[in-house]
Amino acid sequence: MIECSVCHSKIASPTSKTISRAYDRHRSHLSSKTRFLNVLLVGGDCVLVGFQPILVYMSKVDGGFKFSPISVNFLTEVAKVIFAITMLLFQARHKKVCEKSLLSISSLVQAARNNVLLAVPALLYAINNYLKFIMQLYFNPATVKMLSNLKVLVIAILLKMIMKRRFSIIQWEALALLLIGISINQLRSLPEGTTSFGLPVATGAYLYTLIFVTVPSLASVFNEYALKSQFETSIYHQNLFLYGYGAIFNFLAILGTAIFKGPNSLDILQGHSKATVLLICNNAAQGILSSFFFKYADTILKKYSSTIATIFTGIASAVLFGHTLTINFVLGLSVVIISMHQFFSALSEVKDEKQSGSLEMMDSQDSKRSKDRSILNMTTGANEDASHRVHEDEKRLLPV
């Protein structure tokens, strides 16, 4: 049960099935304004996600990082918290006369209670953001971007299990094509014989790849569930708590690193350059944009938009760093683009529309049953009242 922020009445908290139904109805009634918003989200995400591995690669010195990746993640979360607070202050200045302030203590406490689940994706994102740097030590930016596309298939499975999402057979085939397209691209690791944490490079690289795929997939699904299950909460309230949790987790990681490496590691600005400053700004903007994807759009759309960014990442890494775009990369990317077109084509939406219509029919049948039950209760109540009056009349007619 959750409490309404307006009338303070108790209402049932949404389940994964109700969120899935709401998504199906929303998807079958997309307006032109919503489609335009999706295009803007995809366009912005392509640029930001495409630049991300390029900036990470530019931050490397002699094949490694002179700065602590955790410090970059911590500063990124702090930047996002500042953005959320700024937007809350802006909304507080432009609120209506009888509208409750988003910065009031009661609003913040209630929003914090209703969005505790955001701590789960915040922790998973903290782990994933560190893995992004580790993956750059094994693969070039284009390959890292291709590997990240494996998350789409994992996310689809998690969405079906956790949020009861529905996918047509054509869409599952499109996801299978996506997996095939990514597999075509050859993985290029470090020279043979190099080890990491005592493991051979091949073993370490594939272990990181497995974690790199599963952890952010779980984070994305839990994030979408947490944001949409509390849809009445302001997106900036939710961002404040999500990024606040992320900053706390990264700060704890910095303290843990200081215990093992000494107090010098507490200098979070050590080893930073212009490239890392750009990386922090890019990551912050990407995280903010992702929250709008998860609340107002769709996780699958978010990951497919990241797939489009592979084109930009591959071309930019070839131009800036001389990385060769192999025929395998071109063929694999072509299959990925075909997969994306097939997933979002009108043909794949036929089954979803039928399901949406059946959902509406089920809802109408449920409302009809509730009306019938109310009419039956009214009739039963009327009959009971009539029999009670007859019984009273009979009592009065009896001799004393």
pLDDT in tens, 122-174: 999 988 888 877 777 666 666 666 666 678 788 888 888 888 888 889 988 98
Section 55-81 average pLDDT: 86
Task: Report which of residues 366 and 104 the model is more confident about.
Answer: 104
CA distance 161 to 159: 5
Q: Is the pLDDT of residue 345 over 90?
A: no
Instruction: Give the CA distances from residue 205 to residues 133, 191, 289, in Å, rounded to whole numbers and listed in that order.
Output: 12, 12, 29
Task: Report which of residues 349 and 90 the model is more confident about.
Answer: 90
Q: Is the pLDDT of residue 332 over 60?
A: yes
Q: Any idea which residue has 């089920």 for tokens? A: 362
* Overall pTM > 0.75: no
Amino acid 199: pLDDT: 47
User: Is the four-CA dihedral 179, 183, 189, 192 of positive or negative sign?
Assistant: positive
Per cent of the chain over pLDDT 90 is 11
* Mean pLDDT (the chain, rounded): 75
CA distance 4 to 112: 14
CA 80 from centroid of its chain's CA atoms: 16
What residues form DSSP beta bridges with 2? 11
Q: Is the pLDDT of residue 397 over 50?
A: no
